[in-house]
Amino acid sequence: MNSNPLISMCGITKRFGTTVANDRADFSLRFGQIHAIVGENGAGKSTLMKILYGLHQPNAGTILFRNDPVRIENPRTAIRLGIGMVQQHFTLIPALTVLDNISLGKEPRRHKILSDHAHARRTITSIAQQLGFNLDLDSAVESLPIASQQYSEIVKTLYHGADILILDEPTAVLAPQEVSRLFDCLRGLRKEGKSVVLITHKLQEVMEIADFITVMRRGQSIVSLSTSQTDPVQLSELMIGEQMPSTAPRGHPAAAKEKNAAKPPAAKSEKPMAHSTAPALRLKDVTLRAENDRHLLNRVTLEVFGGEIVGIAGVEGNGQNELVEVLTGLRKIDGGEVTLSGRLISNTSVKAIRRLRLAHLAADRHRYGVNLMGTIDENLIIGRHNHPPFSHHGLLQPTAIRHFAKKTIQKYDILAKGIDSPIHTLSGGNQQKIVVARELESNPVFIIAAHPTRGLDLKAARFVYEQLIQARNRGNSVLLISPDLEELLSLSDRISVMFNGQIVKNVRASQTHETELGALMLGTDSRDAQNN
């Protein structure tokens, strides 16, 4: 491995208004290196890499490429330098084929006029085969599973000449088997001399795949060190700036060290259900169809009892989002029935369902969780703004609202200048904290937690875990939808696996493991998973 830096970012500062996203941050990447960047939400990881890719311009600092100073004005400049980025939210055009998406902007020409699709197909097929990807180049991207879309993004960056590949949270929506395939691909790229930057919060994965690690905190680069020099607990402590408690919940990176840093944490012990024998939530043969008559939900039957957490596992796009939308009143079902607390809520309004004290931690916070144009205090009382103590005879009570907002910001460690700050000025993770705080402070009976720790730092995630467990122990019901199998195994009493709009299996969390769940998520018979 060449010891000279390929990229050096020195003293990078980036401000968004009065918010400092990067504060004199440094980063160095070497040839043939897989370099992970870790840090709490809002630490500046993605911003720093978006500067390297030309999506943002720094307010101060320098970038050296092969020891020469460069100004990366936009992604086109980055691509000319051989820098490619696969963002967390894919940028492919859904209606176009894989072939058209990958070759877009670099279509080969015959006689400088005619598009040479055959040449593009040969080149793309060769790259995919070298990486071990099996891509149907003639399929529309929107018809592909999430993993194939991600593979298409990676092939696209390489087709456009990338020698440096930046991946932002690449394993967030992948099953364990897909993560293994992705890591094999990254190791193959490393052997070819390419360099990879991996932005992730999954410290066990960092330990498995990365050669070098940079830890960021509050916009600054705290330390860069070899993977062999550290462990998940030390990384956690460097990320948050304090020692991790020894009683960290299972599923938290600190818990892995207490057991074995190389293994996922075991599922927590089961809590006997001592509450009502009637389910708090019951779905019977729930069917939901798309406009083309394709089943989004296919005769889904599910029960959640008081005093338990039921996890929903599945690769993104297999009906989890539609299930949540049905339960919260955002979608009307085509068949079956849904009851909550003994009341039929099939095709009932959102308002009526919320009256039954249902809390919803939305996965898509911008669409369902917050009003981006509103202030923090306004967002914290959405849904209860016309109820005491925030309203009296139809009039808002500013004193009560301010008191609640200040107390909640402190309790949930929300980083903000004040309660009247516009919520769009907060980082994504702090916006998520607003949603979590509002919903959990509403005294819910039934909680739908969809990706509840997405974008949260370690302390905030641990706090959410504790809140969900406490709600379960009080006799509340929790439906947990998460792509993180460690999170599901650690928090859930039971897990239902969804594939292609159906629940294919229900298991006790203590009687399964990631390999079995991953196989079920991919539509493989669980017995095959046991034999592999």
Nearest to 515 by CA among 503, 502, 525, 530: 530
> Mean pLDDT throughout 241-260?
47
Q: 472 and 415 in one domain?
A: no
pLDDT in tens, 253-279: 434 433 333 333 333 444 544 455 789
103 assigned to some structural domain: no
Confidence of residue 2 (pLDDT cuts 50, 70, 90): low
Q: 453 and 402 in one domain?
A: no
Q: 339 and 306 in one domain?
A: yes
| Amino acid at residue number 194 | K
| Ramachandran category for residue 203: left, alpha or beta (phi over 0 → left; psi -120 to 50 → alpha) | alpha
pLDDT in tens, 313-336: 998 778 998 999 999 999 999 999
Q: Quickly count helices (H) and strands (E) in the chain.
A: 18, 24
Q: 477 and 345 in one domain?
A: yes
As a whole-number percent, the residues of the chain with pLDDT over 70 amount to 89
How far is residue 15's CA from residue 285's CA, in Å, rounded to a whole number?
52
> Mean pLDDT throughout 171-180?
81
As a whole-number percent, the residues of the chain with pLDDT over 90 amount to 49
Which of 443, 471, 487 is the last residue in one of the domains? Answer: 443
Secondary structure string (H, E, C) spanning 482-512: CCCHHHHHHHCCEEEEEECCEEEEEEEHHHC
528 assigned to some structural domain: yes
- Cα separation values, 419 from 408, 414, 416, 436, Å: 10, 10, 7, 16
For the chain, the domain total comes to: 2
Least trusted range by pLDDT, from 54-63, 72-81, 246-255, 427-436: 246-255
Q: 459 and 330 in one domain?
A: yes
Confidence of residue 512 (pLDDT cuts 50, 70, 90): very high
End-to-end CA distance of the chain: 34
Angle between helices 428-440 and 398-411 (to 10 degrees): 120
How far is residue 353's CA from residue 365's CA, in Å, rounded to a whole number?
19
- pLDDT value for 260: 37
CB 472 within 8 A of CB 448: no
Both tokens of 224, joined, read 């860069």
- pLDDT value for 23: 95
Cα–Cα–Cα angle for 148, 522, 36, rounded to 5 degrees: 55
Does the pLDDT of residue 526 top 50, yes or no?
Answer: no
CB 171 within 8 A of CB 210: no
Question: What CATH number is given to the structural domain containing 353?
Answer: 3.40.50.300
pLDDT in tens, 79-121: 999 999 988 777 888 889 999 999 987 776 665 666 677 888 9
Q: 346 and 289 in one domain?
A: yes
Does the pLDDT of residue 138 top 70, yes or no?
Answer: yes
Structural domain harbouring 500: 280-357+446-532
How far is residue 117's CA from residue 126's CA, in Å, rounded to a whole number?
14
Pair type for strands 212-217 and 34-39: parallel
Both tokens of 356, joined, read 């039954």
How far is residue 111's CA from residue 477's CA, in Å, rounded to a whole number?
66
